[in-house]
């Protein structure tokens, strides 16, 4: 039986199996070689997958097939075709031009003297060298089986490498998230990258935020969700899951592991702080590879740490903002201005910054730091600060020093918010035409944060009662600010102000005196 390989036999077609195939490229200028190779391997099967044969009858045809089928597993390559070294040139093309280092190259030759084995093995990146006269059906079976095993292992190593890259990127992206609102979106994006597709998700935790201090609860509460679970935030997970889903969730909780069902999974997440959380993902592929399951395991181990990192970041920023507000409000108590002035200015600044075209981070930064704009007034005597009449020249000079006093109090901090506050305290009384104080800066020499706070502060001050004036109507304020376009205020900023005046008026209603 083994000696029949290159006798004349009919060409038998092997149909593809639904489970997939291993692609084998046959490159030979003799049609009989193609026929008997297919016949000899017609019943071959490896890992429940049959062989799919692709034929090329010259080196030129082989190049095209290689490019069209980069997922081919094996190429059975004749050396001598249209030229004495056509096969060797194809081998070189596969590795150097097509950059295909996965496919296993088995060189077959009927004229060993044309391409000595030692020379070929040394000079070309091939994986096996066989003489056609020695390549019986059994030996062909053996060499194809060993080559497929090598190809499978190479793919597994490459998938593991790619998976490791994805895990590193996923962990980096999730841990870089500073917004709790973006957390579950980031989780979904990264799982989609790992698995190919996901539909819905729930992240439930025993550590939830409320108006009270963070507390650990006995039951899992939905922190955030996607798909049909978007409206489930704050509900116990037992109220939003179907009975069979809840059973799988409890199983994962008891085992402290991952439970896979038809098209969804539950993954138990924990950290060194021992806060229990559960990640539910639906719409996952029906068949997951061992590599994918391993990546999911690593990913879910990092999710809880990422969540707590995001939560801690939010807590730090909220604490900073609260301290800034309380400090500023305490300062306002010395004057007749109300405490809500600083909150209104903060949100007016945020809206103006966005309309002006600043980034989300810059807009958020000016919102958080703007309440510090008048911190220098702590050094101004009450008699001047609260004088209902017009200030005298000497008194006005003292009042003007609050910008530099504020800058000196806040400068040189290692905290971005405080440093931004220092810039705002110094620049928020500068004017676009250079007639402001303390330095008489002009135009874009004034920091954009200072320009924004200047307009926001004047707008809010005019719209509210002060010890020296009654509140102005909105139309009067808009008219006055437009009169100061290019004089007191940045012209582009005034244009932005005009576009969002409705939003700014809504802020005043939100934080009344």
**Structure tokens that stand for 428 in this block:** 């928020």
**Structure tokens that stand for 330 in this block:** 């305490």
What confidence score (pLDDT) does residue 213 get?
Answer: 38
Q: What is the dihedral of CA 382, 340, 211, 185, to 10 degrees?
A: -130
Whether 394 shows a pLDDT value over 50: the answer reads yes
Stretch (H or E) spanning 41? none
**Structure tokens that stand for 378 in this block:** 């702590």
* Beta strands per DSSP E along 242-345: 258-260, 264-269, 277-282
What confidence score (pLDDT) does residue 412 get?
Answer: 86
Domains, the chain: 2-157 (3.40.50.2300), 178-300 (3.30.450.40), 333-510 (1.10.3210.10)
Give me the catalytic one of 23, 38, 343, 377.
377
Q: How many angstroms separate the CA atoms of 97 and 88, rounded?
A: 13
What confidence score (pLDDT) does residue 286 get?
Answer: 73
Tell me whether residue 23 is one of the annotated catalytic residues: no
Q: How many angstroms separate the CA atoms of 60 and 143, rounded?
A: 25
Segment 94-116, tens digit of pLDDT: 999 999 999 999 988 876 655 56
Segment 3-53, tens digit of pLDDT: 434 434 334 333 333 358 999 999 999 999 999 999 999 999 998 889 999
* Beta strands per DSSP E along 139-260: 200-208, 215-226, 258-260
Averaged pLDDT for residues 127-156:
87
The values of phi and psi at residue 26, to 5°, are -105, 120
Q: What is the residue-averaged pLDDT of the chain?
A: 81
Residues contacting 177, CB < 8 A, separation 6+: 183, 186, 306, 310
Averaged pLDDT for residues 289-309:
74
Segment 407-442, tens digit of pLDDT: 998 898 888 888 999 999 999 999 999 999 999 999
What confidence score (pLDDT) does residue 104 get?
Answer: 93
Whether 206 shows a pLDDT value over 80: the answer reads no
Segment 443-476, tens digit of pLDDT: 999 999 999 999 999 999 999 887 667 899 999 9
Q: Tell me the range of 248-252, 276-280, 444-448 where mean pLDDT is highest.
A: 444-448
Averaged pLDDT for residues 123-131:
84
**Structure tokens that stand for 332 in this block:** 């306002």
Of 115-119, 178-182, 477-481, least confident by mean pLDDT is 178-182
Q: How many angstroms separate the CA atoms of 491 and 485, rounded?
A: 5
Q: Contact at 8 Å (CB) between 481 and 455?
A: yes
Residues contacting 203, CB < 8 A, separation 6+: 183, 184, 187, 222, 223, 224, 225, 277, 278, 279, 280, 303, 307
What confidence score (pLDDT) does residue 12 get?
Answer: 39
Q: Contact at 8 Å (CB) between 228 and 242?
A: no
Sign of CA dihedral 348, 498, 488, 448: positive
Count CB-CB contacts under 10 A for residue 460.
22
Query: Is it true that the peptide bond before 438 is cis, omega within 30 degrees of 0?
Result: yes
- Is pLDDT larger for residue 309 or for residue 416? 416
Position 378 confidence tier, pLDDT thresholds 50, 70, 90: confident
Q: Tell me the range of 45-54, 211-220, 318-327 where mean pLDDT is highest.
A: 45-54
């Amino acid at each position: 039986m083994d000696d029949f390989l290159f006798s004349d036999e009919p060409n038998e077609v092997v149909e593809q199996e639904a489970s997939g195939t291993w692609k084998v490229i046959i490159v030979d200028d003799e049609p009989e070689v193609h026929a008997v190779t297919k016949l000899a391997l017609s019943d071959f099967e490896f890992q429940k997958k049959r062989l799919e044969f692709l034929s090329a009858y010259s080196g030129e045809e082989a190049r095209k097939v290689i490019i069209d089928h980069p997922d081919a597993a094996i190429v059975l390559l004749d050396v001598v075709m249209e030229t004495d070294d056509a096969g060797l040139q194809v081998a070189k093309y596969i590795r150097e031009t097509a950059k295909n280092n996965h496919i296993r190259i088995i060189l077959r030759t009927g004229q060993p003297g044309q391409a000595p084995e030692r020379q070929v093995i040394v000079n070309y990146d091939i994986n096996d060298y066989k003489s056609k006269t020695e390549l019986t059906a059994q030996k062909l079976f053996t060499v194809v089986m060993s080559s497929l095993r090598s190809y499978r292992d190479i793919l597994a190593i490459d998938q593991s490498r790619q998976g490791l890259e994805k895990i590193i990127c996923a962990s980096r992206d999730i841990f870089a998230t500073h917004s709790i609102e973006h957390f579950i979106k980031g989780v979904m994006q990264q799982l989609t990258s790992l698995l190919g597709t996901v539909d819905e998700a729930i992240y439930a935790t025993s550590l939830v935020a409320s108006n009270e201090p963070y507390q650990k609860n006995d039951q899992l509460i939905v922190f955030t969700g996607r798909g049909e679970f978007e409206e489930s935030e704050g509900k116990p997970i037992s109220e939003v899951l179907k009975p069979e889903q809840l059973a799988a969730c409890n199983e994962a909780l008891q085992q402290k592991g991952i439970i896979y069902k038809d098209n969804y999974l539950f993954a138990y997440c924990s950290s060194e702080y021992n806060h229990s959380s559960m990640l539910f993902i639906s719409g996952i592929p029906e068949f997951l590879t061992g590599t994918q399951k391993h990546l999911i395991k690593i990913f879910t181990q990092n999710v809880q740490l990422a969540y707590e990192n995001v939560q801690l970041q939010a807590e730090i920023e909220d604490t900073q903002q609260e301290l800034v507000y309380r400090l500023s409000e305490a300062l306002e108590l010395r004057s007749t201005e109300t405490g809500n002035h600083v909150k209104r200015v903060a949100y007016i600044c945020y809206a103006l910054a966005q309309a002006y075209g600043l980034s989300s981070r810059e807009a958020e930064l000016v919102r958080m730091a703007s309440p510090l704009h008048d911190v220098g007034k702590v050094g101004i005597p009450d008699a001047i600060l609260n004088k209902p009449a017009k200030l005298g020249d000497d008194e006005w000079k003292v009042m003007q020093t609050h910008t530099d006093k504020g800058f000196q109090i806040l400068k040189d901090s290692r905290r971005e918010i405080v440093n931004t506050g220092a810039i705002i305290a110094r620049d928020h009384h500068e004017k676009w035409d250079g007639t402001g104080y303390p330095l008489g800066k002009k135009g874009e020499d004034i920091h954009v944060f200072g320009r924004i706070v200047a307009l926001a502060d004047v707008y809010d001050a005019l719209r509210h009662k002060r010890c020296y004036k009654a509140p102005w109507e909105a139309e009067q304020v808009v008219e006055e600010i437009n009169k100061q376009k290019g004089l007191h205020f940045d012209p582009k900023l005034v244009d932005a102000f005009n576009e969002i005046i409705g939003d700014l008026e809504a802020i005043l209603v939100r934080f009344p005196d």
